[in-house]
Structures are given as C-alpha cells and as structure tokens.
Structure 1
C-alpha cells in the first residue's frame, strides 16, 4: 500500500502537536493512539536555563488526558522555571 489511512481526528491531533511544539520548543510532544494520552518529554540537558541546571527539581516529563491539559502543565513548568532564574 502506498498510503497510510489516518484515523479520524488525526489532522486535529497533528495541529495540536504542532502548536504545542511551537509554544514549548524544548519539549518533545507525543500523542499515543492506543491510550489517547499526551506526553511532553525533555532530557536533563535541555532542562537548563542560561547553561545552568535549575536545581534538584527539574521536570523532564509530563502527561495529560488532553492537549489543553498538557498546555496548562507545560505553562506552569515554564513559569516556575522562569522564577528560578
């Protein structure tokens, strides 16, 4: 087969992933089709500000039931890290 049929809503998921990636560039955004869960992951190396580690409490993985919920969690982490500078 030369093409792969996408499940219903695949375009919406792709658009939501792209929006999250644009808003939170240091994070990898994943949507699992088997559980329909959302994930944001980054390495410890990416979890740095100005070349310094943020401290012992560095968030490197988040999960959520929806893209909107993941966006809220990512925004909270970004705001907390900005206060740690």
Structure 2
C-alpha cells in the first residue's frame, strides 16, 4: 500500500472524491492508487495539490522509500504519525 491510499483514508476521502478532484475516472484512479497505472504530469500535479504532499512521498510504499531530503519535511506534517 502506498501513502497515497493511507493519506486518502486518513483524510476520509473516497476514491471517487480524489478521482473527481484530479479529473479522471474512479477505475483509473484505483489503478493509479494500486500502482498498476501511471498518470500524466497534470494529474500528478493535481494529486500533489490535493494532498499537499510531493509525489515522492505519496507513491512511496514505506518510509525507507521516501528520500531523505523529504523526511525533515514530514516532521512538521500534520499527518506525521503515518510516516513512521
């Protein structure tokens, strides 16, 4: 599971909510969230804006996959408990 899914669930959004926000279908968003499909740069930007997190964090599967230069950022994130 990626942090994309964890953040969506923590923020209490449905897959449909996120799909609408980034301008895609629910099925396509499900595939993106599951790591089975890629999305365009435009949709990546919309995901970053929606969750207010960089894609390198959203698509990481565990804390070790998050680049070290973002780990300091996470210390001040209101959802920092998710990233331990």
Q: Give the TM-score taking structure 2 as reference length.
A: 0.28
Of structures 1 and 2, the one with the larger relative CO (CA 8 A, separation 6+) is 2
Which structure dedicates a bigger proportion of its chain to strand? 1
Structure showing the higher helix proportion among its residues: 2
Q: Point out the structure with max Rg over C-alpha.
A: 1
